[in-house]
Structure 1
């Protein structure tokens, strides 16, 4: 074999990659826990299960979790084959429910708090934050800044009362017993975090689409905000189905005085889908969106409106089929069941069971079940609790699980 043939063979073994792909892979490899996208062990575990194809064995790495369960280390499942040679795509999560008040927005508060708070307080106490920016597109008018502040306060208080500070040099350990987070420091951190939560309130399908399409222009304009030196952690859309019943299924045949015709339902959802993909590709950020689903179809001897490949006991999405493969993980959220009063129950029996029903309400239990995208299969379930000033709490130790349907 002469030098020319050897050179040709070696050249054929060279893999070509763009600079963006190389830098993205390096950033992915440099992260100690690349699948810990949210630092919520329960959610990260569901994501790891959804992203890992069957086959190779997995490795386990110990990763610190948020302060909801600080006394025991959290385990993040990292597939052994998950360190890619190509670009790693950030996760896309759909939060859906069949009824209001199912905990979707409460979960978004907690994710936003962890994304924008700093990793450490000045006293050295770990807050498990990411010091990033979050964009919230609020179509329902439900996203409350005072409630977000309340969730941040509760999270910092739990970390202050139960988490161990990160280690410091030996010369500075004499005052370890006095480490704490004062009210002034807490409010300063929260105020700083809030400057990196960008909330857009939209009131129509056209304004929603225009807002998503203009995000790149807004975020790259460092004069418009204070997040120029922060990465974009997540784009949150709450919710994508807010204008579902305002969209015509087909283009009206009659002419109107409007300069531009209204988008049909299919056109609108396809445009939003394309715009979200473009934003994620630009900023390499997580996408979270909420939706409303219809309750499971009741069995009927006369009609069958549910497709045969979708189990009848699962909720029916309002989103078109083109969205089924879009999310990395689809989660069905519901409030914990409260035992109903049976029709034949006596007054004495109802009074006897009153405390049990009230305790369920006071627990503020919610649950989320993983749905396999496009296949309509039930997966692992996770419980969390919303308790007023206590914020949002995940029970990582498994000692207390919300019972949902």
Structure 2
């Protein structure tokens, strides 16, 4: 009987990859840092909670495994009782296991996950219809929060003490600007502490200490600069070996918080041109031959390429449990007409990339810099001079409006629509200044 049970149990064994095994082990431990994933910006985290609410772990397969184990233990227990009864008529001897006492093994092998709920790790898209709209600045802010330490000498700093992969397809990554943004975040936390307690303010780091800490944190930003979409795909494929090769970087002790791409649409026009040329060359050829060459990757095909990019990003996210944040520029979009009105009422942007990019992000945002009204053609020079200070104040304020991209809103569940409406219509603002990026209105 035991041999038959063993064969039956062995038949139910299934193979798993190392990535899947590590992912499930992380799920079994409720103390994992990923139980509640946070980007570090409260308003963004609130919106992510709307589109990807915390849910208890999917335990369907685990429950099946538990049922199989219980069945096996019950059968083994029954066989053991039969053997014991044969050997000894005294069924109350010290070697007999009572059914009511057999409660440990299942719980020990398959511990129930903590009921504290877990939020899926997000994929965030930040789009605009114009360049210089604040997308990169938002990425710098998220990167700074990720790499800064959680505390300095017991004093909270506000960081996640993690690593970031920054893929700079636009070739405009500015390390000095990132340093400025990180310094501003630390200064804000220091100012809050100094206003609360004089005792705590006495232990705050000096400017030299702060600069040294920021420079040390910047070492955990790994910048890649692919020059084409094919190079971008190759970069994504190489990230795993690179990050696991501890001789190539100094982030071995840190988790990977985020993979950011600025921007994902950098090569879309040249890719569309290549795709048009490839389709022209396919004229007059059989569909079977064309499909065969595409499958063997002997011919350029834009949908297949961007599908591969999406799949590789998802694989990296599953492997490293990191957020994916990317920017995109969507041509032909229409910004909000009035910056004082709820932005979601006036503009949406259709995804610039082919499927599955329209459904890939957890949350899709639009950002737009406050515009300066043009001078009317009939305005006199004196009137323009008088109105100039008010226009300059708009520029110096550096206000960036952001709102949820409501493209394909008709397919949203009612719960999401109502939650977005309750969250200020899914809109918020931040400010880009020479001294950094701020998420608080100076007028407050």
Normalising by the residue count of structure 1, what TM-score does the alignment of the two structures yield?
A: 0.73
**Equivalent residue runs for 1:222-301 within 5 Å:** 222-247=246-271, 248-250=274-276, 251-252=278-279, 254=281, 261=298, 263-296=300-333
Please state which structure has a larger fraction of its residues in helix.
2
**Equivalent residue runs for 1:344-363 within 5 Å:** 344-363=378-397
Q: Summarize deviations over 1:179-214 as a string: whole Å, max 9, x none.
A: 222122112211211111000011112111000011
The counterpart of 2:436, out of the listed 375, 388, 391, is 391
Q: Give yes or no for contact 2:166–2:223 (8 Å, CA) kept in 1.
A: yes
From the superposition, tell whether residues 218 and 238 of structure 1 become closer, same or farther in structure 2 (CA, over 3 Å). Answer: same
How much does 1:40 deviate?
1.1
**Equivalent residue runs for 1:189-200 within 5 Å:** 189-200=213-224
Q: Give yes or no for contact 1:133–1:232 (8 Å, CA) kept in 2.
A: yes
Are 2:135 and 1:109 aligned? Answer: no
Larger Rg over CA atoms: 2
SS of 1:163's equivalent?
Answer: helix
For residues 333 and 270 of structure 2, the distance between their equivalents in structure 1, rounded to whole angstroms, comes to 23
Q: Summarize deviations over 1:69-101 as a string: whole Å, max 9, x none.
A: xxxxxxxxxxxx9815xxx53000001110010
How much does 1:46 deviate?
1.7
Provide the residue aligned with 1:51 in structure 2.
Answer: 52
Are 2:352 and 1:318 aligned? Answer: yes
Provide the residue aligned with 2:9 in structure 1.
Answer: none
Q: Give yes or no for contact 2:431–2:437 (8 Å, CA) kept in 1.
A: yes
Provide the residue aligned with 1:5 in structure 2.
Answer: none
For structure 1, the 5+ residue unaligned runs are 1-16, 54-80, 168-172, 299-310, 401-405
From the superposition, tell whether residues 373 and 120 of structure 1 become closer, same or farther in structure 2 (CA, over 3 Å). Answer: farther
SS of 2:310's equivalent?
Answer: helix
For residues 33 and 383 of structure 1, the distance between their equivalents in structure 2, rounded to whole angstroms, comes to 28
From the superposition, tell whether residues 328 and 373 of structure 1 become closer, same or farther in structure 2 (CA, over 3 Å). Answer: farther
From the superposition, tell whether residues 177 and 288 of structure 1 become closer, same or farther in structure 2 (CA, over 3 Å). Answer: closer
Are 2:225 and 1:201 aligned? Answer: yes
For residues 34 and 270 of structure 1, the distance between their equivalents in structure 2, rounded to whole angstroms, comes to 29
From the superposition, tell whether residues 349 and 178 of structure 1 become closer, same or farther in structure 2 (CA, over 3 Å). Answer: same
Q: Summarize deviations over 1:107-143 as a string: whole Å, max 9, x none.
A: 1111111100101122x43211011000011100111
For residues 189 and 240 of structure 2, the distance between their equivalents in structure 1, rounded to whole angstroms, comes to 35
Q: Give yes or no for contact 1:42–1:396 (8 Å, CA) kept in 2.
A: no
How much does 1:163 deviate?
3.1
How much does 1:261 deviate?
4.3
Provide the residue aligned with 1:336 in structure 2.
Answer: 370
Q: Summarize deviations over 1:268-326 as a string: whole Å, max 9, x none.
A: 2111001101100100100001111123379xxxxxxxxxxxx9953333211321111
Moved more, 151-160 or 130-139: 151-160
RMSD over equivalenced CA pairs, Å = 3.2
Provide the residue aligned with 2:163 in structure 1.
Answer: 133
From the superposition, tell whether residues 355 and 32 of structure 1 become closer, same or farther in structure 2 (CA, over 3 Å). Answer: same
SS of 1:366's equivalent?
Answer: strand
Q: How many residues align?
A: 330
Provide the residue aligned with 1:308 in structure 2.
Answer: none
For structure 2, the 5+ residue unaligned runs are 1-15, 55-114, 283-295, 336-344, 413-419
From the superposition, tell whether residues 30 and 226 of structure 1 become closer, same or farther in structure 2 (CA, over 3 Å). Answer: closer
Moved more, 125-134 or 313-322: 313-322
For residues 235 and 122 of structure 2, the distance between their equivalents in structure 1, rounded to whole angstroms, comes to 21
SS of 2:356's equivalent?
Answer: helix
Please state which structure has a larger fraction of its residues in strand.
1
Provide the residue aligned with 1:382 in structure 2.
Answer: 428
For residues 317 and 146 of structure 1, the distance between their equivalents in structure 2, rounded to whole angstroms, comes to 31
Q: Give yes or no for contact 1:89–1:284 (8 Å, CA) kept in 2.
A: no
